[in-house]
Amino acid sequence: MTGPSGWACYLDLDGTLLGRGASLFHDGEGAISLLGVRAIEALLRAGVEVVLMSGRRRAQVAEDARLFGQKSFIYEAGCVLSLDGEEHWLTGGLVPGELSTYEQIAQSGAPALLLDTYQGRLEYHDPWSAGRDISHLFRGLVDATEADELLRSNGHESLRLLDNGAVTHRSAALSGLPRVRGYHLIPAAASKSAAVAFHMRVRGLERACTFAVGDSREDLAVAEHVGCFWAVANATESDPELRSAIGEHSNVRVTEAGHGDGVYEAVITTLTERR
């Protein structure tokens, strides 16, 4: 397939491209599927830059980007854009120095405030919360907007709690929750949306030449900047309230399939319509 040059696709990993067990080769139910792989192949053949945007740590996202032959990616939920090997920190004043950004956030007392306030509803997302340089990673079920107000009222205006989509792991302490979601405590200045906008400016990309695929409210915010945003079907299944948020955007579409199969649907549809 020949396609557009000077295009970019901003693509989320967990809950979007990756299926059960964070596998590229399985769908959300655990059945083998190669459609996610074929979506990446279609993008590469069309000359579309694939920019992974993830809440994962740098080492994890960098390796996935390398496997796809890509040089730029967004990690730690938009805190940093790695662009052709150069790191662009989008965290405002919370940059690493004598202490890492993670350590600065820990010393502020904000993580302890959240855990104390939402005891039984929020916990660290072990083991994936270990070894992080920037964001504090939690799991549970809380209202992120309410949590942000709690942070502000306690002097933590420089931080926010973002909802990054459904997760499957939980401890016995969270067994009573109807569902579990992943949350990142990050500098308020950072977001996937801001990182996407930064990448577009540097690349000189027009909005019409960009699209994104994701599964969370944080991903959905990217719709403000791209030509089209696709939410994979499992996004609204795991977060019923997301559908009303989708309705606030005129350029958002929902795939019929979930996870990698949904990404394939979004990619092929977009490339076909824009040829």
Decide if 2 is inside a domain.
no
The pairs formed by 201-209 with CB atoms below 8 angstroms and a separation of 24 or more are 202/83, 203/6, 203/8, 203/49, 204/6, 205/6, 205/7, 205/8, 209/4, 209/6, 209/7, 209/8
Residue 270 CA to residue 122 CA, distance in Å, equals: 38
pLDDT tens digits, 245-260 = 898 999 999 999 999 9
Q: 165 falls in which pLDDT band (50, 70, 90)?
A: confident
pLDDT tens digits, 220-251 = 999 999 999 999 999 988 888 888 889 899 99
- Asked if pLDDT for residue 264 goes beyond 70, the answer is yes
Tell me: do 155 and 202 sit in the same domain: no
- Asked if pLDDT for residue 275 goes beyond 80, the answer is no
Residues 6+ apart with CB under 8 A from 240: none
Decide if 166 is inside a domain.
yes
Decide if 75 is inside a domain.
yes
- Asked if pLDDT for residue 164 goes beyond 90, the answer is no
Decide if 195 is inside a domain.
yes
Q: 5 falls in which pLDDT band (50, 70, 90)?
A: low
Tell me: do 68 and 127 sit in the same domain: no
Instruction: Write the CA distances from 63 to 15, 125, 128, 180, integer angstroms.
Output: 18, 22, 16, 27
Residue 75 CA to residue 241 CA, distance in Å, equals: 26
Tell me: do 145 and 257 sit in the same domain: no
Domain boundary among 152, 167, 187: 187
Burial class (CB in 10 A: 0-12, 13-18, 19+), 226: buried
Tell me: do 175 and 203 sit in the same domain: no
pLDDT tens digits, 138-159 = 999 999 999 999 999 999 999 9
Domain boundary among 143, 161, 187: 187
pLDDT tens digits, 25-77 = 999 999 999 999 999 999 999 999 999 999 999 999 999 999 999 999 999 99
Tell me: do 14 and 84 sit in the same domain: yes
Which three-class secondary structure string do you get for the chain? CCCCCCEEEEEECECCCECHHHCCCECCCCCECCHHHHHHHHHHHCCEEEEEECCCCHHHHHHHHHHCCCCEEEEHHHCEEEECCEEEECCCCCCCCCCCHHHHHHHHCHHHHHHHHCCCCEEECCCCCCCCCCCEEEEECCCHHHHHHHHHHCCCCCEEEEEEEECCCCCHHHCCCCCCEEEEEEECCCCHHHHHHHHHHHHCCCHHHEEEEECCHHHHHHHHCCCEEEECHHHHHHCCCHHHHHCCCCCEEECCCCHHHHHHHHHHHHHHHHC
Tell me: do 110 and 182 sit in the same domain: yes
Count how many domains the chain has: 2
Decide if 95 is inside a domain.
no
CATH code of the domain covering residue 61: 3.40.50.1000
Tell me: do 151 and 198 sit in the same domain: no
Decide if 1 is inside a domain.
no
Tell me: do 81 and 206 sit in the same domain: yes
Q: Write down the pLDDT at residue 2.
A: 36
Find the domain containing 82 and state its range: 7-90+191-274
Tell me: do 147 and 110 sit in the same domain: yes
User: pTM to 2 decimals?
Assistant: 0.92
Tell me: do 76 and 115 sit in the same domain: no
Decide if 269 is inside a domain.
yes
Tell me: do 61 and 110 sit in the same domain: no
pLDDT-above-70 percentage for the chain: 98
Domain boundary among 136, 161, 187: 187
Tell me: do 139 and 254 sit in the same domain: no
Check the CA dihedral 165-105-54-189 and report its sign: positive
